[in-house]
Amino acid sequence: MRVLILCTGNSCRSQMGHGFLQSFDKNIEVYSGGTEPAAQVNAKAVEVMKEVGIDISSHVPTHVNTYLDQEWDYVITVCGGANESCPAFTGKVGKRLHIGFDDPSHATGTPEFIEAEFRRVRDEIKNAFARFYITEIRKEDLPACSCGGAVNCG
């Protein structure tokens, strides 16, 4: 299973999604990239991920062009800019999804408010990628429910 997560700078949201998805299942090959990659991963993103036990400090922003000719089970954009400017992939892409989040690096105000925004977006990313993991990746492993849902609810 190969998943590529994209945003504009590949310094914050896509890196957090990458960290969470990889933490859910070490057997998934997770990569992230950006349409206009930053020089480094956002320090606040590294900090708030470390608070939940995930270390993304060794991640490096990578240009999406690095991945265009590869095959992917999923390509997921996490910001509107990357969704709109996502290039055409020459390699096979199983499913292309958009799961959008606010950019906490654009937050302004007190240091406490900015940190709270990073935590809020981090938690939204965790919840969204947990749902993605359960409904898309693990669906074959889970028993179907008699109600017709992909997951056994009772």
For the chain (154 residues), the mean pLDDT of every run of 10, in chain order, is 95 97 95 95 98 98 95 92 69 92 95 97 98 88 55 50
CA distance 91 to 39: 26
Active-site residue identified among 12, 86, 145, 153 = 86
Q: Which structure tokens are listed for 42? A: 């956002």
Q: The domain containing residue 21 runs over which residues?
A: 2-140
Does 149 fall in a domain?
A: no
**Whole-prediction pTM:** 0.87
What contacts 141, CB < 8 A, 6 or more positions away? none
Does 146 fall in a domain?
A: no
Question: How much is the pLDDT for 128?
Answer: 97
Question: How much is the pLDDT for 20?
Answer: 97
Does 153 fall in a domain?
A: no
Q: How many domains does the chain have?
A: 1
* Domain harbouring 34, CATH code: 3.40.50.2300
Does 154 fall in a domain?
A: no
Which H/E stretch holds residue 135?
none
Termini Cα distance of the chain: 28
Active-site residue identified among 79, 145, 147, 153 = 79
Report the chain's C-alpha Rg in angstroms. 16
Give 26-88 as a DSSP string. Answer: TTSEEEEEESS--SS--HHHHHHHHHTT---TT----BGGGGTTS-EEEEEE-SHHHHHHPPP
Does 152 fall in a domain?
A: no
Does 22 fall in a domain?
A: yes
- 153 is a catalytic site residue: no
Which H/E stretch holds residue 147?
none
Does 80 fall in a domain?
A: yes
Active-site residue identified among 7, 12, 145, 147 = 7
- 7 is a catalytic site residue: yes
- 145 is a catalytic site residue: no
Question: How much is the pLDDT for 79?
Answer: 86
Does 107 fall in a domain?
A: yes
